[in-house]
């Protein structure tokens, strides 16, 4: 799919999804294998000041 994509509520990207363009969403679910070539933009009602720190993956 060529975007931009606007979802007013919920969007689910299946494993073979390939989106070229920005995705604007309120709630998103992306399955392993889904590809977005663009920006993901959360359109939620309230902004949170919560910061989540990501850790790099380690190889086993």
Domain ranges of the chain: 5-42
Spatial neighbors of 1 by CB under 8 A, at least 6 apart, are 17, 18, 19, 20, 21
Which of residues 18 and 57 earns the better pLDDT score? Answer: 18
Question: Is the confidence at residue 52, as pLDDT, over 90?
Answer: no
pLDDT in tens, 19-29: 999 999 999 99
- Provide DSSP, the chain: -BS-EE-SSEEEE-TT-EEES-EEESEEEE-TT-EEES-EEE--SS--------------
pLDDT class of 59 with cuts at 50, 70, 90: confident
Which of residues 20 and 50 earns the better pLDDT score? Answer: 20
């Amino acid at each position: 799919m060529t975007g931009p994509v606007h979802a007013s509520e919920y969007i689910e990207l299946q494993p073979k999804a390939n989106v070229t363009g920005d995705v604007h969403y309120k709630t998103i679910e992306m399955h392993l294998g889904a590809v977005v070539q663009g920006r993901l933009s959360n359109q939620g009602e309230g902004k949170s000041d919560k910061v989540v720190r990501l850790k790099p993956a380690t190889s086993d």
